[in-house]
């Protein structure tokens, strides 16, 4: 995944450590629950604009969750590639 921002190796390590730690995992679960609640509200809404609004906000949460996952995976892939290159 290509991003418009760059992280140093130390920043990526901190990023990964935070999101894989206890606090990060709790916050990820909170974002997932919020996304699901928004989708449920969207499905239950009788007003099209309200349903669309809830869906758009849920999509934003999903984008953030996917970005976190992609950055963690990219960090792991770089680590694996480096390990293979040094052998």
52-70: pLDDT as tens digits: 999 999 999 999 999 999 9
Domain with 65, as residue range(s), is: 20-86
On whether residue 25 sits in a domain, the answer given is yes
Residue 64 lies in a domain: yes
The answer to whether residue 78 is domain-embedded is: yes
What's the total number of domains in the chain? 1
Average pLDDT over residues 27-42: 98
Q: Residue 14's CB: how many other CB atoms inside 10 A? A: 12
The answer to whether residue 11 sits within a structural domain is no
Structure token pair of residue 69: 């996952």
Q: Is residue 52 part of a domain?
A: yes
Report the alpha-carbon angle 56-58-59, nearest 5. Answer: 65
In a domain, 76, yes or no: yes
Decide if pLDDT at 13 tops 70: yes
């Amino acid at each position: 995944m290509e991003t418009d921002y760059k992280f140093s190796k130390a920043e990526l390590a901190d990023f990964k450590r935070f999101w894989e730690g206890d606090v990060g995992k709790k916050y990820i679960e909170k974002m997932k629950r919020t996304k699901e609640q928004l989708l449920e509200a969207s499905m239950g809404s009788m007003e099209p604009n309200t349903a669309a609004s809830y869906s758009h906000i849920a999509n934003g949460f999903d984008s953030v969750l996917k970005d976190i996952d992609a950055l963690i995976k990219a960090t792991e892939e770089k680590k694996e590639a480096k390990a293979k290159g040094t052998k």
